[in-house]
Each structure stands twice: as C-alpha cells, then as structure tokens.
Copies of this chain bind each other. A is one copy, B any other.
Amino acid sequence: MINVAIVGYGNLGRGVRSALEKNGDMKFTTLFTRRPEQLSKEFNDVPVLSSEKIALPKDLKIDVAILCGGSKEDTPVQGPVFAHLFNTVDSYDNHSNIPGHYQKMNDIAGKNGHVSIISTGWDPGIYSLERVLGDAFLPGSKNYTFWGTGVSQGHSDAARKVKGVIDARQYTIPVDSALQKVRAGQTPEFTKKEMHKRVVYVVAEEGADRNKIAKEIITMPAYYADYITEVNFITKEEMAKNHAALPHGGFVLTSGITGENTRQITEYRCQLQSNPEFTGSVLVACARAAFRLQQQGSKGAFTMLDIPPALLSPHSAVELRSYFM
C-alpha cells in the first residue's frame, strides 16, 4: 500500500482524493491545507495538518505527497518544503520556468534521498510525452498542440478582472479547419488566431456598459488581443446551470516525412469532462511511479519523460506483457 498525502484541497486536491479511491494499491493518509481547522470537520479518518506551519505527528504514514496548489504562488514555495520531507508529485505548469523548477527540486530531492516528479498532468505531462515521442519517431517533423474545447482558468480570471464583470468563464476552442488541415497532411505555420478562438460568458453588473466590457476583453493584450474572441452576456443563473463544469482537452499532432516523401501523422487527443479530476488521476499514477523509483534507489527530480511507463501502471510487468502488448 502506498500512503499518499494531499497538499492543498481545491479542485485538484479533490480530484486526487477521488482518484486515490479508484486505485487499490494507494491510500489517502494525510491532508495538508492552509485551513486545517475548517477542513478537519470534513475528514474523520485522516489527519488534517497545516501546510504553512508544518509539524509532523510521529505516527504519520506518507510515502508520497501530491502538491495540488497553484503554479504561481503555491508550488514554488511548497515544492522545496515537501521535497525535503517526502517524495513529491506536482503539476507545475509554467512551461517556461520548468527547467528552473526542475533544477531546484532536483537539488532538494536529491540531497534528501527523495524522488520528485514535476510538471505532471496532461499539459505539461502527457502532452509533453506525446510531443517527445512524435519527434523521436519522426525526426524533423512538425508538431501542433491544439487545446480545447475547454475552460481556461487564466483567461476566465483575466476577464473577471474587467470593471463591471461579476463572473466570467472562458472556453478555448480549437479551430476545426486548422486541425483538419494538419490531419490531411498539410504543415502550415499557423498564427495564434488560426489555431484557437475564445468564447467568453460574462455576468455583468446591472447597468454596466456591455459594449465597453466586451471591447475591453477582446482587446486585452496577452490574453485575448491575438485571437478572435466572442463575448456573450448571460445571467448568474445561466452561469451556474450551464458553466459549472471544468471540461478540457485537446490534440497533439506530429506530422513528418519518412523516405522520399511519405507522410506519417500521429495524433493524441484528450476529451475530458473534468480537467481537475483527470489531472488528479494522472498525478496519482505518477505518485505510484515516484514511490517505485525511490524503492529502486533513484533520487532527485523527474519529469514524465524520465519514467519507464510501466511504473505508472497498477499492473505487474508480467501482466503488462501478457495483456497490454
């Protein structure tokens, strides 16, 4: 049995808890949170501890800590703290800072004899893996990642900050004609707006200038200005009824040439009804791998590119060769 601590109990933390119940070889043993007093009422059978002032009771059983906080403020702080104490898994998703995060976690985990698997989930994570596989099997190929249809928290938050906006939800939508071009063997250089469009649902304050709100969202640099964006105003009730789920997904395509001019295309796709539940499930598989890597004598930081895939699986090597090959 692999004993797992969850660090942070938002959407992702709940997804990890739910995934642990579906993995018979793993057990949820400890919750670390910023609000232990509040959450301890919800949990009868696991200790609920502060993630900020860490004091560890003697009989705690933790093989791996899964970090479920945000990449902006939580993981950069909690990563080093927990890698000092336990094997860790995180979903750090600031792509450009991954090399720096790797270095930091590799130092601390390495020094403490722990394994830290960083930047897991589906992107970064599975999609990173699929990009590397596509490139390895088709050298010199072109890679395309399309995201969606799904909710982007970052873009939703950005729209929510516009004056007069009470609530907002942004869907990233892949442009189907672009996807079809790649599937048909074309390898264009797309602009951002040729690959994705953005659809925003907004609950506005009563009396707010809707045209002004829409214009401010559509022209917002970094988040919206480079895309075709559609803004729809809806009621608070519609928001609650139709936009409470957090679906996501997308496509990784690799298009390359072998021989003289032979087109070869690989494609990976996720269709997720709940991004945090699926991400949680991936993190749990990675926690299994982290535990096994440490058992094998490994230490330091790993990404999903560095893990023998069999270590992610609940099945033995013999079972995998017999039933999955």
Contacts and interface: CB of A to CB of B under 8 A. Distances in A.
A132 B324 CA distance: 6
Contact of A95 (B131, B267, B325): B325
Contact of A18 (B183, B259, B263): B259
Contacts of A282: 137
A310 B321 contact: no
Contacts of A270: 264-267
Interface stretch (A122-130, A198-206, A222-230): A122-130
A89 to B, nearest CB: 13
A281 interface: yes
Q: A-side binding surface: helix, strand, loop or mixed?
A: helix
A10 B230 CA distance: 55
A318 B99 contact: yes
A147 to B, nearest CB: 15
A120 to B, nearest CB: 10
A132 B280 CA distance: 18
Interface stretch (A33-41, A69-77, A165-173, A271-279): A271-279
Nearest to A100: B321
Contact of A277 (B264, B274, B288): B264
Contacts of A264: 270-274, 277-278, 281
A22 interface: yes
B271 A267 contact: yes
Q: Which size bracket describes the interface of A in this complex? A: 35 or more
A135 B324 contact: yes
Contacts of A130: 268
Contact of A271 (B183, B288, B312): B183
A321 B303 contact: yes
Given A269-B267, A325-B303, A262 B285 contact: no
A259 B271 contact: no
A312 B309 CA distance: 13
B23 A285 contact: no
A144 interface: no
Nearest to A268: B268
Contacts of A263: 271, 273
Contacts of A281: 137-139, 258, 264
Interface string A149-191: 0000000000000000000000000000000000100000000
B259 A277 contact: yes
A102 interface: yes
Given A19-B258, A269-B266, A280-B258, A325 B274 contact: no
B265 A267 contact: no
A308 B304 CA distance: 8
A19 B321 CA distance: 27
A313 interface: yes
Given A22-B140, A262-B273, A306-B317, 16 more contacts: A15-B259, A18-B258, A131-B324, A132-B320, A135-B313, A135-B324, A262-B274, A262-B277, A263-B271, A263-B273, A266-B271, A267-B270, A268-B269, A303-B325, A305-B309, A305-B313
